Amino acid sequence: MSAAEVIEQIKALPTEEQKTVAEFIRNLPATEPVGEQSGVRYADPARAKAASQKIFAENEWLFRKLAE
């Protein structure tokens, strides 16, 4: 059974059973955190660009060497 088929089966369940499935999934031990609980943060585009420009400026020699 594919993941899509499992999802369709879950969607077909009554609301209370869907809640039980959701709780079960939330409590599964994961190798990596998922979703909002993962602690993953994203930089806004302006900060990411500024950081990359700084890195390239400080390590220009290395990037030139890598480009050879």
pLDDT in tens, 24-68: 888 887 665 555 555 667 788 888 899 999 998 998 888 888 888
Which residues touch 4 (CB under 8 Å, ≥6 apart)? none
Q: Name the percent of the chain in helix, strand, coil, to the closest 5.
A: 70, 0, 30
* pLDDT value at residue 11: 92
* pLDDT value at residue 35: 53
Domain extent listing, the chain: 3-67
* pLDDT value at residue 14: 93
* pLDDT value at residue 16: 93
Q: Can you give the pTM of this predicted structure?
A: 0.42
